[in-house]
Amino acid sequence: MFATGGYDHIIHLWEVKANFSAASPKALAMKHNSVVQSLLPICDTSHKLMSGGADCTINLYDLASERVVNTLKTSNIIYNSHTTISPFCTITEVSHRDLQFEIRDHRLVPEIPVQRFGHACTQVSGRYVRGASLPSEGLFACGDRDGTVRLWDLRRSNKVINEIPCSRGQKIVQVVPCADSKLLACSENGQISVLDY
């Protein structure tokens, strides 16, 4: 199965036939009031799908009971979502010039405030800049518009632990973890760099 969402504000769950000859969609009973920009499968006490939208809303949909079990408001538009080492916590990338990332423990919302971290910049990173969670190491990495990749330790996320110059003057659009303490960083002009962290 895989999930899709977009400009129609609707999320579809697709089931693919075993021989990959066809896929059939089913609209889920979770809806946003704006563009669906992020979908993330999570498994805490059950299999769930987390959706994030430009309406500053996160929905947690339980796949077994086929219903939304939690709806959360975010501080701004959600661009991307990531898992962490804890199955109950997720990271969202939001539209801010500072503190662009938010860690949520879904068991404690709304009693415990969201933990925010990031770096100061002159412009919002935008939906086409995607970071990477490295759950087994408790780290998070993300590039910026100026070509730098930053790394945070999620246990002490109040400061950047490493800044890696990558593509001077070129926006880093995606960071992907790979083996042996390395990251792949892709710039907007299609350049891919292998970085040691």
The 10s digit of each residue's pLDDT in 132-153 is: 999 889 999 999 988 999 999 9
Q: Report the DSSP pairing between strands 78-83 and 89-94.
A: antiparallel
Q: Give the total residue count for the chain.
A: 197
Q: Averaged over 192-197, what is the pLDDT?
A: 92
Domains present along the chain, CATH in parentheses:
1-120 (2.130.10.10), 128-197 (2.40.10)
Give residue-wise pLDDT tens across range 21-77: 899 999 999 889 999 999 999 999 999 999 999 999 999 999 999 999 999 888 899
Strand order in the sheet with 2-5: 2-5, 10-16, 23-31
Give φ, ψ of 78 to 5 degrees.
-90, 130
pTM of structure: 0.87
